[in-house]
């Protein structure tokens, strides 16, 4: 699959593909993992612009306070919750 996005978005999306099914990360953890520790908001924006959901699993990224955050895929936040529950994530 040839992805189209900014250099930063592509870096975020590439990392998202490494999050195992049934696991979650926070936007901050993703920012740290891609060596951009002050970019949690930018990570959230990259997730929001992800046109490849759920194939690129932005649904596995939540806010640091435990809230779900948003979901760019079809069905919005309800679909994010459904996907996480289908992966046995305790939310």
How far apart, in whole angstroms, are the C-alpha atoms of residue 56 and residue 51? Answer: 9
Phi and psi angles of residue 38, each rounded to the nearest 5 degrees, phi first? -100, 15
Catalytic member of 40, 43, 58, 61? 58
How far apart, in whole angstroms, are the C-alpha atoms of residue 25 and residue 47? Answer: 12
pLDDT above 80 (res 1) = no
pLDDT above 90 (res 91) = no
pLDDT above 80 (res 56) = yes
Does the annotation mark 58 as catalytic? yes
Structure tokens that stand for 66 in this block? 């435990």
pTM: 0.93
For domain 7-86, the CATH class is mainly alpha
pLDDT above 90 (res 44) = yes
Domain boundary assignment for the chain: 7-86
User: Can you give the pLDDT at residue 89?
Assistant: 95
Structure tokens that stand for 26 in this block? 């926070």
User: Can you give the pLDDT at residue 76?
Assistant: 93
């Amino acid at each position: 699959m040839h992805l189209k996005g900014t250099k930063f978005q592509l870096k975020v999306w590439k990392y998202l593909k490494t999050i195992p099914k049934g696991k979650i990360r926070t936007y901050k953890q993703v920012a740290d993992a891609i060596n951009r520790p002050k970019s949690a908001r930018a990570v959230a924006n990259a997730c929001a612009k992800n046109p490849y959901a759920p194939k690129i699993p932005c649904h596995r990224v939540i806010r640091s306070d435990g809230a779900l955050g948003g979901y760019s895929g079809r069905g919005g936040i309800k679909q994010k919750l459904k996907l996480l529950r289908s992966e046995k994530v305790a939310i």
